[in-house]
């Protein structure tokens, strides 16, 4: 018998993994003391974007669970909320929608905690956390003190921030502050969302109609982790230049391309590439692509990190062979 702790159920991919210890951060714990006592720390949020290895017996887990939503400022047009990192993100979205605060409704039903959203600049259906984030509070493991970081300092781009680059593993995010609007919500221009409104005869969608539409669309295309363990999109949508995009579209006539902030660069849907490489609903051992959305890898049962890495590498190889594009995986692989 070891004294290790199984943390598989804290993650949405449900891979077996054991760690040395787990500390639940509720906001009261002294992080300076915690880091002084534990040197190999792994900070766990909602567990919805990580692929764990079997043996993490050298690691002490700090699980972020502090909860609070506080109004810090408001006027006629806007409201600023300070949210504890451990709040379930969708509870934050639900709170905002119930009170008619707009700006995050299209990010409904995204798994995970609020404090994790800035790390990879979480986004869906035209909204990204970078567009509402004012600042965040964090514990700096290098300087050993609490700091406030402004959104402008985070260098956000598509699924990217400094927390994944030069700031990796440096900060423990404890609060985020976001500014929402009291005005009418923006209606997502995505066809699937528009179709939902049409089919349900909704002409002037309210913020709740938008939230319901997004929840509906998401769950029709993404597997529920409680039913089929997964961590959402497994690959990032690759960005290619216009010359390469034109060449691809000549060969693959229905390839969808989406604009980026840069006019010469286009986003190619990884899900389309995987599907058109013949890999939708295909399994490599216990791990496979979801039958309704090739962008998502699912655990059909009994998978380990090795199985996930094997499936990932096979998919990358086959897609590269067909399209000349090297996919990059989105979740963090913890070894």
Q: Which residues are catalytic?
A: 159, 233, 330
Three-state DSSP at 20 gives strand
What the block records as the tokens of 261 is 């902030």
CA 257 to chain centre: 22
Question: Given the complex with ligand EPU, which of 141 and 276 has the nearer CB atom?
Answer: 276
The only residue of 63, 130, 280, 312 in contact with ligand EPU, by rule CB under 6 A: 280
In the complex, least distance from residue 147 CB atom to ligand EPU, rounded to whole angstroms: 28
Q: Of 233 and 305, which has the nearer Cβ to ligand EPU?
A: 233
Footprint (CB under 6 A) of ligand EPU, residues 65-124: 124
**Would you give the binding string for ligand EPU spanning residues 259-278, x where CB under 6 A is met?**
----------x-xx--x---
Provide, rounded to whole angstroms, the least separation between the CB of residue 223 and ligand EPU: 11
The span from the first CA to the last CA of the chain, in angstroms, equals 23
Token pair 């992080």 is found at 31
CA distance 124 to 295: 14
Q: How far is the CB of 176 from ligand EPU (least distance, A)?
A: 18
Cβ–Cβ < 8 Å for 240, 258: no
Per CB under 6 A, does 295 bind ligand EPU?
yes
Longest dimension (CA), the chain: 61
* Alpha-carbon distances, residue 29 vs 134, 137, 181, 224, 290 (angstroms): 25, 15, 33, 33, 40
- Touching ligand EPU, residues 141-180 (CB under 6 A): none
Question: How far apart, in whole angstroms, are the C-alpha atoms of residue 191 and residue 209?
Answer: 15
Nearest-CB residue to ligand EPU? 232
Residues 237-256 that bind ligand EPU (CB under 6 A): 237, 256
Return the number of the residue (170 or 221) whose C-beta is nearest ligand EPU: 221
Number of residues interacting with ligand EPU: please give it, by CB under 6 A. 18
Smallest distance, ligand EPU to C-beta of residue 11, A: 14
Helix (H) / strand (E) element for 124: namely strand 123-124
DSSP structural state of residue 188: P
Q: How many residues does the chain have?
A: 335
- Look-up: residue for tokens 């380990």? 304
One of 293, 299, 307, 329 touching ligand EPU (CB under 6 A): 293
Which positions touch ligand EPU (CB under 6 A)? 124-125, 221-222, 232-233, 236-237, 256, 269, 271-272, 275, 280, 293-295, 330
């Amino acid at each position: 018998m070891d004294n290790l702790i199984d943390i598989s159920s804290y993650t949405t991919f449900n891979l077996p993994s054991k760690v040395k210890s787990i500390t639940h951060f509720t906001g009261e714990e002294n992080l300076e003391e915690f880091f002084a006592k534990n040197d190999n720390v792994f900070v766990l949020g909602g567990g919805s974007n990580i692929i764990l290895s079997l043996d993490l017996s050298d690691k002490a887990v700090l699980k972020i669970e502090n909860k609070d939503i506080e109004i810090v400022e408001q006027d006629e047009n806007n409201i600023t909320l300070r949210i504890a990192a451990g709040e379930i993100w969708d509870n934050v979205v639900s709170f905002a929608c119930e009170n008619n605060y707009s700006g995050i409704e299209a990010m409904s039903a995204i798994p995970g905690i609020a404090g994790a959203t800035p790390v990879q600049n979480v986004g869906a259906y035209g909204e990204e956390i970078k567009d509402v984030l004012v600042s965040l509070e964090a514990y700096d493991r290098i300087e050993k003190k609490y700091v406030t970081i402004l959104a402008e300092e985070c260098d956000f781009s598509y699924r990217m921030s400094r927390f994944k680059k030069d700031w990796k593993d440096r900060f423990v995010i404890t609060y985020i502050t976001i500014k929402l609007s009291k005005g009418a919500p923006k209606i997502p221009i995505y066809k699937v969302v528009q179709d939902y409104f049409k089919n349900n005869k909704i002409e002037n969608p309210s913020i709740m109609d938008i939230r319901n539409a997004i929840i509906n669309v998401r769950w029709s295309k993404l597997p529920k982790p409680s039913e089929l363990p997964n961590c959402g999109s497994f690959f990032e949508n690759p960005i290619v230049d216009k010359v390469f995009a034109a060449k691809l579209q000549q060969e693959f006539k229905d390839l969808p391309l989406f604009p980026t902030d840069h006019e010469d660069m286009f986003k190619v849907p990884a899900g389309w590439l995987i599907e058109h490489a013949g890999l939708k609903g295909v399994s490599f051992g216990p791990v496979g692509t979801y039958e309704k959305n090739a962008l998502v890898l699912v655990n059909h049962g009994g998978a380990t990190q090795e199985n996930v890495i094997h499936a990932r590498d096979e998919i990358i190889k086959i897609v590269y062979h067909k399209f000349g594009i090297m996919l990059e995986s989105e979740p963090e692989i913890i070894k």
